[in-house]
Amino acid sequence: MDLELLTFRARVFRKIRAFFDRRDYLEVDTPLLAPDLIPETCLEVFETSYLAPEGSKSRKNRPYWLIPSPEIWMKKLIADHRVSLYEICKCFRNGESLGHLHSPEFTMLEYYTMDADYGDSLGITEALFETLLGDPELFPQGPESGSLRELRPPFTRITIEEAFSRWGGFDLSGAVRRGTLEQEARKLGLDPPPGLEEGPLYDLIFIHRVEPALPRNRPVVLMDYPAFGPCLAQKKAGGKAVERWELYVRGIELANCYSEEGESGEVRRYFEREGAIKSREARVPHRFDGEYWKTFLPRGETGKPFPRCSGVAMGLDRLIMALTEKSSIDGVLPFPMG
């Protein structure tokens, strides 16, 4: 990476910190190593070990895992202190391709806003983009020069239902209700194995038909994901969708947001269900805390439940890609893995 790009990257990180500091978010610094993780069946992790000193009687060797996100730590801080938080940190995901859009080690911005839902988080994210694009130190030529104006808010909002109707050509909810997702996939020229469940069928159609068709001339926010997809987001009224959005910039997924699930029973069921799948199918199995759900019970003397909040996870390397119009993540990493 040349000095000019290295300097730009550092300035963007400074501007992001200033943005959240002005809004009274607390910057936190959580561990990269964890003795257990949230079970997420959509990703693989890295395992390492703590080696106790030779001859130690008080300590034993034990496994640790590199975090794929600081979420597991940040929610514990939210439960204890009930304040808006943000963190910029390294995160790690295994089993993904190298170069272009993925790096096993990457930089994440994660921010949680108290007394907020996913709509509020979208407004904050748009304000962050407006602030960065309007900063004369980052862009002396102004935010309307070249393709930068394509990144300006307001973002285009499209529900998942609308996206499947527009680019898949069918009614997603109706197909799920009728059990015809496999037929719709075959109509689109895809070849799923017989008997595939609705989640993998949805992913197949989304990845191969919907995602590639998303507009690239404006940031697009896909909203209201189907409830059958496992995640710790609150359900919308009716229970068929969850309060979740993902931000795509020039066709590339950049950020993921939930209205955070704060009901301890729902968290417990998620951990039990996804933990069983993870233990059975993961290439790199990991521990998960069977009592993590207690984080969401009323805490301390106040007896208050887990606060209403919304969190966003944003890939900063991909953000730098968008702001510098690079086509590969390797072009914005100081030391790409190659």
Tokens of 83: 């304040």
Q: pLDDT class for 301, splitting at 50, 70, 90?
A: low
Tokens of 227: 């409830």
pLDDT in tens, 175-193: 999 999 999 999 999 999 9
Q: Closest Cα partner for 100 from 316, 326, 253?
A: 326
pLDDT for position 98: 84
> Chain-wide mean pLDDT for the chain?
94
Is the predicted pLDDT of residue 332 greater than 90, yes or no?
A: yes
Instruction: Domains for the chain: give ranges and CATH numbers.
Output: 3-53+64-152+265-332 (3.30.930.10)
Q: Alpha helices of 49-168 — where are they, by DSSP H?
A: 71-81, 118-133, 160-163
Is the predicted pLDDT of residue 142 greater than 80, yes or no?
A: no
Mean per-residue pLDDT, 291-320: 92
| CB contact at 8 A, 322 and 15 | no
Strand order in the sheet with 62-66: 33-34, 62-66, 46-50
Is the predicted pLDDT of residue 96 greater than 90, yes or no?
A: no
Residue 313 belongs to what H/E stretch? Answer: strand 309-315
